[in-house]
Structure 1
């Protein structure tokens, strides 16, 4: 669904000529004579009206085959064009115990609809939803440090322990009582510019990395719990720290290579597909058919698509680099808006030679979990 309905072509062309900044982050122009797409504020020479195509998202520009302009850099983090995002994220950080509501936004002088659209555009959720998830994260930290469910609920700003239990169960598919204090696999939270992620790791490797609002997350966690014989709990390991550090460098544009050791939970065929995903160069994409060719099973396109969708280590196993044969973004468990943003981020890496670094260890393949390795 489009959050901003584009006006007619004449209005947009006038905005292009005048470099109207009000269209930043809301409209882009593709120039058919050059094959590039630009912000409407681009300082480059203006194209003729008949050579302009108008788009309401960066993903639509990329899908249409246009490449980003080198002058206005339309793939640069769009949040820089909307100060309200940085301002409210700073306010959230400054008041971690505050229970945010719409009245707070009005009192700070923000128009609630504008804030909602800006955060939906860049995070796929409203500011208030983001604030509630931040509170929940702090509750997880209390449990990970050995605190009680009641203490965690209070820290997270819930009125009762039962309300906190219900919210945790809704998101993770497991109640806090289901988690073991002697956990082998530990759950922790990693913040990213695309929203919070849940990471599950043992002392040696990462088993799961998913955006917290992924619908399949509860099912995936239940499977890990069963395979680990219930030894799943809150806590943080050195693997969590390494994952968070490498993700931060990735989003900061410093390095797109990951060395975190991984454990696969899938069939032999599925693991082959995941290995092939990790071989796709940064800044490139493949279709499901091309990926099937690369693993030597050209007739297994549908099976490749299923294996791609079963990936439970987002970003590090880059299933977002697989698109439809027609160039469409196709499905993504973390949401198409995130897939679009990840492709945009990696487009910035494409022209930069990768930094030399030691190769990470190959993934361990497992159809159970590391529970059997204790």
Structure 2
């Protein structure tokens, strides 16, 4: 670019004002809808905390966002007809798994198509088609679909290639390593649905169910606090937590040994999480119980906030906190998962009476 864009707050102001000052130079991505728009889009404006800004269509699509149907950011005046014709073909059926042979069958030269799309949009036609399919896969997973079904519907025969492509949508942009350390993310199946793990080589930074609404914000916060970028890949820490989670769901493990990266939490949060970990599997505590154990009954609300700030599900067992009246209360992964986890742990405890003595 010939000049640097203003900060995100200024771009959000331009979005609210529908300013054309940055037309073609910046795009707004809306986390809650999964679409990206021109700053001049007439649609209802998203909240600031739900909006990201990128400087190219390519990055928007690589980050998992699909083009808005109102402002149509892929359309540009004076563009080569080949680009518009193929985009219309893609709109007719975004699920088609396009190949170069398909372009040849339509009378196009693949290299000509590739150059035309790179000039117009900064991304190839085949990449656009692939990212749209991945966006559909992400929505399928959010609706509870099995990973294998989403993988096949997206046109991926290989599970590993699907995971790698899917995780390219987690980060804000293609991997940029300048002055930054990398964290790696991968997805694995559990009886309660896919979980996403983010880790460096030795420590786990995040473990969440794939459909947790707060996940995009948690990833943003994690990257900001660690001054890192999340990229697709596996590390020994991810391998270790996947194996431990499998043992946990199989009923063979109740205490996790994967090291946790908690350095950016407050002292109070770390204290609460440590107390959560000490609650034996198969038991529960009320928020007030933790506050009284700290000789400060007035911090019940602070205990709740610290519990909600936990980004390492199951391992830091925030599901073991319940209301004073025995109600399940809130759980970011969904109350149905909290109920399942508590029943699962109760069964493990009943099957291992020695745990009673150990507690």
TM-score normalised by L of structure 1: 0.51
In the other structure, the counterpart of 2:244 is 246
Question: 2:257 pairs with 240, 259, 266, which one?
Answer: 259
> Higher Cα Rg: structure 1 or 2?
2
Q: Is 1:334 equivalent to 2:330 in the alignment?
A: no
Determine the C-alpha separation between the residues in 1 that align with 2:152 and 2:324: 38
Return closer, same or farther for 1:231/1:299 CA change in 2, 3 Å cut-off.
same
In the other structure, the counterpart of 1:214 is 212
Q: Is 1:184 equivalent to 2:203 in the alignment?
A: no
Which stretches in structure 1 are left out of the alignment for 5+ residues?
Answer: 1-98, 100-122, 146-151, 157-163, 356-374
Give yes or no for contact 2:181–2:227 (8 Å, CA) kept in 1. Answer: no
In the other structure, the counterpart of 1:324 is 323
RMSD, aligned CA: 3.3
Q: CA deviation at 1:230?
A: 3.5
Return closer, same or farther for 1:128/1:142 CA change in 2, 3 Å cut-off.
closer
Q: CA deviation at 1:349?
A: 1.8
In the other structure, the counterpart of 1:295 is 294
Determine the C-alpha separation between the residues in 2 that align with 1:233 and 1:207: 13
Q: CA deviation at 1:135?
A: 6.4
Q: Deviations over 1:152-187 (max 9, x none)?
A: 3xxx7xxxxxxx98xx3xxx4x44525659852111
In the other structure, the counterpart of 1:18 is none
Q: CA deviation at 1:296?
A: 3.1
Question: 2:233 pairs with 224, 232, 235, which one?
Answer: 235
Q: CA deviation at 1:134?
A: 7.7
Q: Deviations over 1:72-101 (max 9, x none)?
A: xxxxxxxxxxxxxxxxxxxxxxxxxxx8xx
Give yes or no for contact 1:185–1:232 (8 Å, CA) kept in 2. Answer: yes
Determine the C-alpha separation between the residues in 2 that align with 1:180 and 1:286: 43
Give yes or no for contact 1:180–1:232 (8 Å, CA) kept in 2. Answer: no
Give yes or no for contact 2:148–2:159 (8 Å, CA) kept in 1. Answer: no
Return closer, same or farther for 1:136/1:337 CA change in 2, 3 Å cut-off.
farther
Q: Deviations over 1:30-80 (max 9, x none)?
A: xxxxxxxxxxxxxxxxxxxxxxxxxxxxxxxxxxxxxxxxxxxxxxxxxxx
Q: CA deviation at 1:255?
A: 1.6
Return closer, same or farther for 1:136/1:251 CA change in 2, 3 Å cut-off.
farther
Determine the C-alpha separation between the residues in 2 that align with 1:178 and 1:251: 33
Return closer, same or farther for 1:338/1:144 CA change in 2, 3 Å cut-off.
closer
In the other structure, the counterpart of 1:132 is 150
In the other structure, the counterpart of 2:10 is none
The alignment of Structure 1 onto Structure 2 pairs a total of residues equal to 213
Determine the C-alpha separation between the residues in 2 that align with 1:248 and 1:354: 22
Determine the C-alpha separation between the residues in 1 that align with 2:276 and 2:155: 30
Determine the C-alpha separation between the residues in 1 that align with 2:268 and 2:301: 12
With a CA cutoff of 8 Å and minimum separation of 6, indicate the structure with the bigger relative contact order: 1
Q: CA deviation at 1:225?
A: 1.4
Structure 1 segment 1-374 matched on structure 2, within 5 A:
125-127=143-145, 131-132=149-150, 141-142=160-161, 152=165, 168=169, 172=170, 174-177=171-174, 184-264=182-262, 265-351=264-350, 352-353=352-353
Which stretches in structure 2 are left out of the alignment for 5+ residues?
Answer: 1-94, 96-140
Return closer, same or farther for 1:134/1:254 CA change in 2, 3 Å cut-off.
farther
Return closer, same or farther for 1:130/1:176 CA change in 2, 3 Å cut-off.
farther
Q: Deviations over 1:280-323 (max 9, x none)?
A: 01100001000112233221000000110110000000000001
Q: CA deviation at 1:137?
A: 12
Q: Secondary structure in 2 aligned to 1:177?
A: coil
Determine the C-alpha separation between the residues in 2 that align with 1:189 and 1:234: 10
Determine the C-alpha separation between the residues in 2 that align with 1:134 and 1:224: 31
Give yes or no for contact 1:188–1:198 (8 Å, CA) kept in 2. Answer: yes
Determine the C-alpha separation between the residues in 2 that align with 1:259 and 1:291: 23
